[in-house]
Amino acid sequence: MEPNVSYKFSVTHAINFDLFEKKSAATSTYEAAFKQVKGNNFRIEVKRSDFKVNDKEIETKFESVAYEYNKALFPVLFDVIDGSFLLANYNEIAARIELTDAELRFKHDGPGFQYIRNQFLENVNKDGYTMSQHFFSFGLMKVIMLCLQETEKYEDYQFQWEIIPLETTLFCDGNTVFSSEQNVLQYSGQANSTNALFDQITAYGIRNKFIQEPTEAQAFITTTITNKTQFINTKLDFEFSETEIKINNSHFNYQEKLAVRRKF
């Protein structure tokens, strides 16, 4: 990836799940742009625009509030030094958040708004480290971080992925294979523990009176996470990157797909 060259991508993020009686199917789409502005140890800029859910602009009050807060996070700059990501424009983002927060507080009030506001600010407004961790929870950032790994670090790569409906994180161990002939990176892994998933599923079931006590059969959970990235040259210069997460349980079936495709 040459310095000062930008690449544009279309992103499609689909999450479908059944949790007891609750069913959900949602697909968000947006445009993203990556720009390298330095040399080997380099700086990347990530922009996000044209965000839609199920091919529609966000219309509901609370979704639009959450969207406006998250919109203030972009563009974001990261310095990538020896594979480590360092947030480079914290002060700029913090100023945008402060302005957005003032505008939204002027327009909205009530417990629903305050809940969204407090949750967002808790995730991003303490310091640069806290804000960085929030960015690293995004699926798009996880794909970028995988693509920028040095080849010798691919083996035994660990993925962390947020399972939003259960408000928990999936910690996955797996192996990554890079084909230099095809310029293709492939990752396959599974959760190193399903205890947190089971606890959240059980808590939801008991809270909503679907179950009283979990059985041994209900504790059985299978997980898979895969990624395939077709590089054009190296690093962020890729044609597509597709990530898929599957979780199967008697009370929770989950499928998530994140597709990042180059716009030529």
Per the listing, tokens 């967002």 go with: 120
Determine the Cα–Cα distance for residues 145 and 80; give it in Å rounded to an integer: 10
Single pTM value for the model: 0.89
pLDDT at 38: 61
Max CA pair span of the chain = 59
Q: What is the pLDDT of residues 187-202, one digit of tens each?
A: 999 999 999 999 999 9
pLDDT at 199: 94
Q: Give the residue-averaged pLDDT of 26-30.
A: 95
pLDDT at 3: 59
Of residues 155 and 84, the one with the higher pLDDT is 84
Provide the mean pLDDT of the chain. Answer: 89
Q: How confident is the model at residue 36 (pLDDT cuts 50, 70, 90)?
A: confident
177 CB burial (10 A radius; 0-12, 13-18, 19+): exposed
pLDDT at 1 over 60: no
* 163 contact partners, CB below 8 Å, separation of at least 6: 169, 170, 197, 245, 247, 254
Tokens of 4: 């000062």
pLDDT at 153: 56
Q: What is the pLDDT of residues 99-116, one digit of tens each?
A: 999 999 999 989 999 999
Determine the Cα–Cα distance for residues 16 and 25; give it in Å rounded to an integer: 4
Q: Where are the beta strands (DSSP E) in 58-99?
A: 76-81, 84-87
* 138 contact partners, CB below 8 Å, separation of at least 6: none
% pLDDT > 70, the chain:
94
Amino acid, res. 28: S
Q: How confident is the model at residue 88 (pLDDT cuts 50, 70, 90)?
A: very high
* 246 contact partners, CB below 8 Å, separation of at least 6: 222, 223, 224, 225, 254, 255, 256
Q: What is the pLDDT of residues 146-171, one digit of tens each?
A: 887 765 555 667 789 999 999 999 99
Determine the Cα–Cα distance for residues 139 and 59; give it in Å rounded to an integer: 23
pLDDT at 245 over 80: yes
Three-state DSSP string of 234-263: CCCCEEEEEEEEEEECCCEEEEEEEEEEEE
Q: What is the pLDDT of residues 169-190, one digit of tens each?
A: 999 998 888 898 999 999 999 9
Task: Kindly write down the DSSP assignment for every residue of 141-163, as one continuous string.
Answer: HHHHHHHTS-GGG-TT-EEEEEE
Tokens of 127: 């310091």
Per the listing, tokens 């077709």 go with: 230
* 184 contact partners, CB below 8 Å, separation of at least 6: 178, 228, 229, 230, 231
pLDDT at 237: 81
